[in-house]
Structure 1
Amino acid sequence: MALCWISVTPSNPHHNSIIIQNLSTTPSSPPPHKRKPAQITTSVSTFASSSNPFTESERYPVVMSKRLVNFSIVGAVLSRFLIFSKALASQLLELQQYTDPKEGFTIFIPSSWIKVEKAGATVLFEDTNKKSNNVGVVVNPTRISSLGEYGTPQFVADKLIQAERRKESTKEAEVIAFSERSGHGGLQVYEFEYKVDSTRGGLKRVFSAAFVASKKLYLLNIAHSDGLDDPLDMERRMFLEQILHSFDAVPAT
């Protein structure tokens, strides 16, 4: 919704006062048909100069009051709409914790998304309204004990992009950011953000995380549409980042 602010500037008050002054300095005995306009002009001049203590913008109290009332109504409506939108968004973007004790990982997932079966995925959750929006985790055995043995975050990010580009459906793939954080017990966790344009689902934003624990490689992929018709807004981005940062190993019992 676009709001247009219209500013109305009153005419030059000095020019008006000169005109009023000229009209008020009429001969003392004008013809009868000119007396009435002269008296009216004098009363207006007196009101403008002495009886009205307001500023120039306040010499139009009726117009200004109507305009203020209109703006206050619009502001109240917008305020209610924004409050309602945030409340609705918070309900739709509610998170709940998902833990897989067998594979040994935990993560937050959207409460409204459903769990589906897919070959190659340890677990996968899909948006009920748009299946291309999903959160998936893959767990595979590995010989290394930490990601540091495999390479730096940038090195792993390059490997991820190369894997994406090898897919037949991929038209373009680009790394946006990569970083490292500590998980439970100082666990080394790499995080990545990249975008992919493919013939399957169009332009997508992907948030990914990886760590190694107990000789297993854990890989998280969060895919979300980011096309011109459905761009990723800031609130949804923060929501997806919460999921990304929640990915961690389950403490050993």
Structure 2
Amino acid sequence: MVILQRYTDSMAGFTLLRPSSWIQVDKAGATVLFEEPNNGINNVGVVVNPVRLTSLGEFGSPEFVADKLIQAEKRKESTKEVEVIGVAERSGQGGLQVYEVEYKVDSTRGGMKRIFSAAFVASRKLYLLNIAHSDKPESPLDAQTRAMLEEVLHSFDYAPTT
């Protein structure tokens, strides 16, 4: 069983649960990235970028944001197919709007993957969580792993900087 551990980046201003056995790696463009040892295709990453918005709602609905994510995936050369599984909205710290999107992507790099994304805007920054996990027909995502990944997804929140 995978044990989840709280990770808080007080400089960037976010918190989440992460699999404790996964290792932190440096990747250009990522604020933080954790990978499953010996299987880097399975990872949890966060990107923080400045934006002009004060809330995610100013950008659009959860469905609109999901559509933008899917279009970005389709533009990648390696993407063969992409399909939205679900879109949701929840409240984070202090009633913050958090959008969550789950989709499947089949690419020439890594084959079938399940992606869980969450996004929110706070202090004029866009916070984007991306969880990628292998979901191949011969070894599909099992219920226990899925539940763990969803817990990571739902734990992503704003952590006011000190």
Q: TM-score, normalised by structure 1?
A: 0.63
Matches within 5 A, 1:50-89: 89=1
- Alignment size in residue pairs: 162
Which amino acid is the alignment partner of residue 156 of structure 1?
Answer: V
**Higher share of residues assigned strand:** 2
Aligned to 1:162: 71
User: RMSD over aligned Cα, in angstroms?
Assistant: 0.8
Aligned to 1:225: 134
Deviation at 1:229, TM superposition (A): 2.0
Aligned to 2:94: 185
**What SS does the corresponding residue of 1:242 show, helix, strand or coil?**
helix
- Given candidates 24, 44, 51, the residue that maps to 1:115 is 24
Is residue 144 of structure 2 the alignment partner of residue 235 of structure 1?
A: yes
Q: TM-score, normalised by structure 2?
A: 0.98
Aligned to 1:150: 59
Matches within 5 A, 1:1-150: 89=1, 93-150=2-59
Deviation at 1:237, TM superposition (A): 0.4
Aligned to 1:10: none
Is residue 85 of structure 2 the alignment partner of residue 176 of structure 1?
A: yes
**Structure 2 Cα separation of the partners of residues 167 and 188 of structure 1:** 28
Q: Deviations over 1:149-194 (max 9, x none)?
A: 0000000000000000000000011111001000010010000000
**Higher share of residues assigned helix:** 1
Deviation >6 Å, runs of 4+: none
**Structure 2 Cα separation of the partners of residues 138 and 97 of structure 1:** 17
Identity %: 71
**Structure 1 Cα separation of the partners of residues 102 and 91 of structure 2:** 17
Quick check: 2:10–2:160 contact (8 Å CA) kept in 1?
Answer: no
**What SS does the corresponding residue of 2:160 show, helix, strand or coil?**
coil
Aligned to 1:211: 120
**Structure 1 Cα separation of the partners of residues 139 and 34 of structure 2:** 20
**What SS does the corresponding residue of 1:131 show, helix, strand or coil?**
strand
Change over 3 Å in CA distance of 1:215–1:222 after alignment to 2: same
User: Between Structure 1 and Structure 2, whose CA radius of gyration is higher?
Assistant: 1
Which amino acid is the alignment partner of residue 246 of structure 1?
Answer: S
Is residue 159 of structure 2 the alignment partner of residue 250 of structure 1?
A: yes
